[in-house]
Amino acid sequence: MPEDSIEHIDFEDLNKRAISKPLVKHIYTADPSAHVFDGKIYIYPSHDVDAGEAFDDLGSHFAMEDYHVISMDSIDSEAFDNGVALHVNDVPWADKQMWAPDANEKDGKYYLFFPAKGHDGIFKIGVAVGDSPVGPFIAQPEPIKGSFSIDPAVFKDDDGDYYMYFGGIWGGQLQRWREGKFNADSPESPVAHLPADNKPALCPKIAKMTDDLLEFAHEAKDVLILDENGQPLLNGDNQRRFFEAAWMHKYNGKYYFSYSTGDTHFICYAIGDNPYGPFTYAGRILEPVVGWTSHHSICEVAGKWYLFYHDSSLSEGVTHLRSVKVAEITYDSDGKINTLVPYK
C-alpha cells in the first residue's frame, strides 16, 4: 500500500480485516526467514528500531543494530523472543544497517547469514556461527568473499547442497555492481546505474556455499527470471521484476523463486527446474501490505505451507517499524500459489 495513502487508513478497521496478527508486539520485527529445525519453528527477522534517521530512497531509516530469533513450538503457539542473537558491535567488519537475515543448519551447527554496511558504506554479507538455532552467534571476522548487496536467503536442496540467493536494488546497491566492482558515482541516487526501462532487469544472484557454509563455492551468478515468452523481464516491468527479498522453496520437485517487486509492493514468484534457474514468472503470492516494503519467506510446517511476511499495521503505517505475521498459502492443481490478500 503506497505510503502516501497511509494517512487515510483507519487502523482499527484494517486490523479487524487483517488475515493475521503480529507474532510479537513488544518489539518491531521484519523480513522474516522461517525454518523448522528439530520440529520447532525458528524465525530470523530484522529487528526494526527508530534510530531517528530521516526517510530516504536509499533506506537510511532502516538503521537496525541487532538480531533476535523468534521461536514457536507450533504454528498456533505463542511466539517467543530469544533475545539478542548478534549485535553489530560484535561484527568486526560491519558498521550499520543490519538488514534482512536468514539462517540454516548443518551437522548440528547453526549459521546466521546477514547483510550490513561496512565502514566504507558498502553492503556485504556476513556469516555468524552458533551451537543453538537461537544463538548467540559468533561472527566471522570478514564478510563472505565475493559477496555484495543485501537480503541473503540460504536454501538447502534435497541432495544436501546449500545455495545463497541474494541482492536488492536501490538502497540495496545491486545496481552499483554491474561492472563487477562497486560504482560509487551519484551516491544519493537510488536509480543511477539501473538499466534502461526497455532493457533486461537486473538479476538477483546465486552462489553455491562451500561445505563449511562460510564462503561461496564459485563467483555469484545471475538468477534469470523469464516472462511467458521466454524473454527476461524488463527493468521497466516493475510490477514483475526483481527488487529484493529473494527466497527459494521446493514444491513437488519444482524450484519456486520468490521475491519482492519493491516500489510496486508485490511478493511474486517464478518456477524453475533446478536451483540456478532460469525461472519463469508465475504470479503474485501477496498483494501489497501497509508500509513501503514487503518481504517474506515460505516454509512447510507439519504438512502445510505458510507465508511469513510483515506489515506496518502495529506502528500505524511507519515504514521502518514493521511486524512479522504468518498466513497459510495453498496451491492449485497446477502448482500455482493462490494469491493472498492481506486485509479482507
Least distance (Å) between residue 218 CB and ligand FUB: 24
Least distance (Å) between residue 38 CB and ligand FUB: 28
Q: Is 56 buried (19+), middle (13-18) or exposed (0-12) by CB count in 10 A?
A: exposed
Q: Is 188 a catalytic residue?
A: no
Q: Which helix (DSSP H) or strand (DSSP E) does residue 11 occupy?
A: helix 11-17
By beta-carbon proximity to ligand FUB, the closer residue of 220 and 289 is: 289
By beta-carbon proximity to ligand FUB, the closer residue of 72 and 150 is: 150
Radius of gyration of the chain from Cα atoms?
Answer: 18
Query: What are the residues facing 200 on neighbouring strands?
Result: 234
Residue type at 262 in one-letter notation: G
By beta-carbon proximity to ligand FUB, the closer residue of 30 and 34 is: 30
By beta-carbon proximity to ligand FUB, the closer residue of 151 and 311 is: 151
The rounded distance, in Å, linking the Cα atoms of 11 and 14 is 5
Residues 118, 124, 128, 134, CA torsion sign: positive
By beta-carbon proximity to ligand FUB, the closer residue of 223 and 280 is: 223
Residue type at 143 in one-letter notation: P
Q: Are 249 and 298 in contact (CB under 8 A)?
A: yes
Can you read off the three cell numbers belonging to residue 130?
Answer: 552458533
Least distance (Å) between residue 293 CB and ligand FUB: 4
Q: Which of 66, 244, 328, 334 is catalytic?
A: 244
Least distance (Å) between residue 233 CB and ligand FUB: 18
Cis peptide before 115 (omega within 30 of 0): no
Q: Which of 31, 48, 151, 237 is catalytic?
A: 31
Least distance (Å) between residue 252 CB and ligand FUB: 27
Query: What are the residues facing 105 on neighbouring strands?
Result: 110
Say which DSSP state 7 is in: G
Q: Is 320 left (phi over 0), alpha (psi -120 to 50) or beta?
A: alpha
Say which DSSP state 54 is in: P
Q: Is 244 a catalytic residue?
A: yes
Q: Whose grid coordinates read 503470492?
A: 285
Q: Whose grid coordinates read 521484476?
A: 241
Q: For binding to ligand FUB (CB under 6 A), which residues are involved?
A: 30-31, 46, 59, 62, 99-100, 150-151, 168, 244-245, 293, 295
By beta-carbon proximity to ligand FUB, the closer residue of 61 and 193 is: 61
Extended beta strands in 252-337, E state: 254-260, 267-272, 279-286, 297-301, 304-311, 323-329
| Residue in 314, 339, 227 with CA at minimum distance from that of residue 15 | 314
Least distance (Å) between residue 11 CB and ligand FUB: 21
Cis peptide before 32 (omega within 30 of 0): no
Least distance (Å) between residue 172 CB and ligand FUB: 7
By beta-carbon proximity to ligand FUB, the closer residue of 20 and 46 is: 46
Can you read off the three cell numbers belonging to residue 108?
Answer: 548440528
- State the catalytic residues: 31, 244
